[in-house]
Amino acid sequence: MTSALLEVDELSVGFRTRRGVVQALSDASVDLEQGKILLVVGESGSGKTVLAHSLLRLLPRNVNMTGSIRLAGEDVLSLEPRELQRMRCRRMALIPQSPTSSLNPVRRLGGQLVEAAQARGLGEEEARRRLRELLGEVGLEFDQVARRYIHQLSGGMQQRIVNAMALVGQPDIVIADEPTSGLDSDLVDTTAEQLRAISARGAALLVITHDLRLAERLGGRLALLYASRIVEHGPTAEFFKKPSHPYGRGLLSALPEREGNSIPGLSPELTALPDHCAYAPRCPRCFEPCTQELPSLYPARDGVLARCFLHAER
Amino acid sequence: MLSAEHVTKTFRAGSAVVVAVRRVSLGLAPGARLGLVGPSGSGKSTLAQAMATLLAPDSGSVTIDGDRVVAWGVRCPRELRHRVQLIWQSPRMAVDPRLRVGDAILEPLAASRMLPSGADERTALLASWAKRVGLTEDLLERFPHEVSEGQLQRACLARALVVCPRYLICDELASMLDVSTQAALLESIAAEQDERELGVLLITHDRILAAHWCEETVEIGDLSGADKVAESKPVFS
């Protein structure tokens, strides 16, 4: 039996807070193979980043987690701290949401980049050689960058550095958390190409984004999140051709180049998620079962799953 | 008409001098929807802040309906400041984290002693603004960290509109938000435009959005001398 590199099974993540438990992720199941791309798409607060951080176990102490995460056969949730550290360094790489806040502002870049490469098991000389090579590939010169502080570089350069850094340890899986937020369209193009290059090298790529145009360009498979649940899961191309979940349809029609219409209403509070379809109050096609029970993921068409009673009979 | 004429602004960082905007002129008419696009680092935000009376340019002038701005930031007369309002890209950095969302919406009125004296009137005013920007009333009692980024940006829109500006400048209104929230914010702005002659300057790097929502779109590089874009590039590349 061949198993995927990453297998997430029925993962639920909640945070205990003063206002009650914030259910950030409910029963999420995804898997990802070597060299493939998985896009996790949804609005802010839908649980995307929590999914990425769960894979790295970068979550605060007030967390309740159930379900399982397996990376290359190892159970990530039961790893001891030392093994976890080894796995984060050798197998995974995170492209963080904001390059400025993920690099140390008071150290020159050279020292901290070499240090990060060494944490991934490279010797100092090898680290420098590898950094020179990787930054060269994205059009930057290591020796010139090394003397600078992070604020002395433009947003595009900062992004290229963190993208290049993700490949230093030759990870099995690269997780990119909103790699294009705040970048202008030319830089989005460059970033999309770099992400594609990462996956072409054989690394599995998980991209968290709210940017539908980036998603369309990257292809692969797409998981659409709404109010902590995956509501649609299938090939990205199929999603853009014809979304199967009404929320997907609403999102696409909100694009300015399509109708530019917003979805009426607000998404539900994660502290008080309904026990029926969370999208029902905003859904134009809501019918009787939607306000009574929770839909499961039903096969919609061509390998697409949708959490919607419209597809329940098939 | 809100107009900037030959605005130049230079920033110094150590020995480096960065010309953020060089002799840029731009006019925004009441009721218009003007898009301003350009790559990051091209001076869009600097120009926005100068036009919103927040940042003094090195040279050039900003006039609001014929009144020339001579004092900037808090020194600018309130009446003049209220005519132009700016919405920032990141709502979390734009509001006081210690103010409840409802209080943040009314803060501009409170600061100008324009708040209705009766508690009922205040509640009614707040409720009407919440409704216009699509917020539910329970969110008004929360602190900024207890609401989502999209909900907070809706509050920032209400906060900008509450002083009834003539002109609204949106600096990357929704580049961190999902498309549906972006559409909702733009619908609220359009509704406001239908009601009164609000001029809107939409600053964005999303050319597709500008092309679809705005009546006219200008490229910041085209607004000034040809050397402008070359000079405002980062210190080295």
> Residue B236 domain-assigned?
no
What tens digit of pLDDT does each residue of B62-100 get?
999 999 999 999 999 999 999 999 999 889 999 999 999
Which residues of B have a CB under 8 Å from any CB of A?
Answer: 38-41, 89, 134-136, 146, 148-151, 172, 175-184, 186-187, 205-209, 211-213, 234-237
- ipTM associated with this complex: 0.83
- The upper half-sphere exposure of residue B21, i.e. CA atoms within 13 Å in the direction of its Cβ, equals 31
The closest CB to that of A263, out of B175, B180, B206, belongs to: B180
Give the residue from chain B lying closest to A183, CA to CA: B40
Are residues A44 and B148, on separate chains, in Cβ contact within 8 Å? yes
What distances in angstroms separate CA B70 from CA B7, B16, B20, B64, one per listed residue? 13, 28, 20, 11
Alpha-carbon distance values, B106 to A66, B140, B148 (Å): 43, 11, 19
Can you say whether the dihedral through the CA atoms of B227, B228, B232, B237 is positive or negative?
negative
- Cross-chain CB nearest to B176 (options A182, A184, A185): A182
Task: Name the CATH architecture for the domain at A6-91+171-311.
Answer: 3-Layer(aba) Sandwich (3.40)
Q: Among residues 121-180 of chain A, which lie with CB inside 8 Å of chain B?
A: 144, 152-157
CA dihedral angle for residue B32, residue B37, residue B42, residue B45, rounded to 10 degrees: 50
User: Which single residue is written with the structure tokens 């600097």?
Assistant: B46
Cα-flanking dihedrals φ and ψ of residue B63, to 5°?
-125, 140
CA–centroid distance for B237 within its chain: 30
CA pair distance B135, B123, nearest whole angstrom: 14
Question: CA A79, A80, A83 angle in degrees (round to 5)?
Answer: 75
CB A209 within 8 A of CB B175: no
Residues spanned by CATH 3.40.50.300 within chain A? 6-91+171-311
- A99: closest CA of chain B, how far (Å): 15
Q: Is residue B125 part of a domain?
A: yes
Token pair recorded at residue A230: 């995956």
Rg (CA), chain B: 18
CATH of the domain at B29: 3.40.50.300
B180 and A144: CB-CB below 8 Å? no
CA distances from B81 to B3, B84, B155, B196 (A): 14, 6, 19, 18
Residues of B in contact with A250 (CB under 8 A): 180
Q: Going by DSSP bridges, is the β-strand pair B16-28/B2-13 parallel, antiparallel, or unpaired?
A: antiparallel
Closest CA to A23 of A297, A308, A290, A294: A294
pLDDT in tens, chain A (314 residues): 457 899 999 999 999 988 889 999 999 999 999 999 999 999 877 888 899 999 999 999 999 999 999 999 999 999 999 999 989 888 999 998 888 888 999 999 999 999 999 988 899 999 999 999 999 988 889 999 999 999 888 777 888 899 888 888 889 999 999 888 767 777 788 889 889 988 998 899 999 999 999 999 999 999 999 999 999 999 999 999 999 999 999 999 999 999 999 999 988 988 889 999 999 999 999 999 999 999 999 999 889 999 999 998 75
CB B215 within 8 A of CB B190: no
Residue B237 forms part of a structural domain: no
Q: How far is CA A213 from the centre of its chain?
A: 15
Question: pLDDT tens for residues B144-154?
Answer: 998 888 999 99
Domain that holds residue B116: 2-231
How many domains does chain B contain in total?
Answer: 1
| Number of cross-chain residue pairs from A and B with Cβ atoms under 8 Å apart | 96
Are A185 and B207 within 8 A, CB to CB? yes
User: For the purposes of burial, counting CB atoms within 10 Å of the CB of A8, is it exposed (0-12), middle (13-18) or buried (19 or more)?
Assistant: buried
Q: Name residue B66's beta-bridge partners.
A: none
Does any domain span residue B213?
yes
- Is residue B162 in some structural domain? yes
Which residues of B fall within a CB distance of 8 Å from A156? 40
User: E strands along A131-268, which residues?
Assistant: 173-177, 204-209, 221-226, 229-235
Do the Cβ atoms of B168 and B189 come closer than 8 Å?
Answer: yes
pTM beyond cutoff 0.80: yes
> Which H or E run contains A69?
strand A63-71
The residue among B139, B147, B180, B229 with the most chain A CBs within 10 A of its CB, best to mutate, is: B180
Q: Answer yes or no: is B80 within a domain.
A: yes
